Chains A and B, each alone.
Chain A
Amino acid sequence: GNSVTQMEGPVTLSEEAFLTINCTYTATGYPSLFWYVQYPGEGLQLLLKATKADDKGSNKGFEATYRKETTSFHLEKGSVQVSDSAVYFCALRGGGADGLTFGKGTHLIIQP
């Protein structure tokens, strides 16, 4: 079946630091890949997505590239802000499943 593995948190960084949150997946075929963000007290929002190999999703300064050879979809941002503090979920859709399979989430804390 499908599965998503992402780095454990919490991840604590200083403002303007470089961010990487690792995500790897297991799925049959060619899944679509997603990053969702959950800000404190809010619902889940789609941050970015990629639907085929070598696609790069980007939004709000965040980027992630669909790497089929390494089955990865790592989230990166060049300079984080305090407002980026949230829980980030990597997810995939594919392998015949209609719903999304989520990773466990990474709690990101940005300190001023």
Chain B
Amino acid sequence: SAVISQKPSRDICQRGTSLTIQCQVDSQVTMMFWYRQQPGQSLTLIATANQGSEATYESGFVIDKFPISRPNLTFSTLTVSNMSPEDSSIYLCSVLGGTLTGELFFGEGSRLTVL
């Protein structure tokens, strides 16, 4: 399994500002994923981030709103831009485990509250 650290663990933000969430993994991984968990809801995949290529966004998510960087095999960032109260969520970084089993390992999440 991988150990995944996210920063910040929580933050309170003002409307219209942007916040960057960092994700650090203790081993090199090819695929990293960013999920959003809105209050009381399930997890929704925002995008897949592979090192050396542009992130692939899911339907309903765009790069201008959620720019992602993946500078190396152990690190990624997700920025939530021009935030509104609807962006209040837990944002989770995850990595793919062993290819044969296909499970994801998750960080503990970054809880954002937008006022």
B-contacting residues of A (Cβ < 8 Å)? 32, 34, 42-46, 49, 51, 89, 93, 98-105
Contacts and interface: CB of A to CB of B under 8 A. Distances in A.
Contacts of A101: 45
Interface stretch (B65-73, B74-82, B102-110): B102-110
Interface in B25-78: 31, 33, 35, 41-45, 48
A43 B103 contact: no
Nearest to A44: B106
A103 B104 contact: no
Given A98-B31, A104-B42, A51 B106 contact: no
Contact of B102 (A45, A51, A89, A104): A51
Interface size band for B: 20 to 34
B42 A103 contact: yes
B47 to A, nearest CB: 9
B92 interface: yes
25 contacts: A32-B101, A32-B102, A43-B107, A43-B108, A44-B109, A45-B106, A46-B103, A46-B105, A49-B101, A49-B103, A51-B100, A51-B102, A89-B42, A93-B102, A93-B103, A93-B104, A98-B31, A98-B33, A99-B33, A99-B48, A100-B45, A101-B45, A102-B42, A102-B44, A103-B42
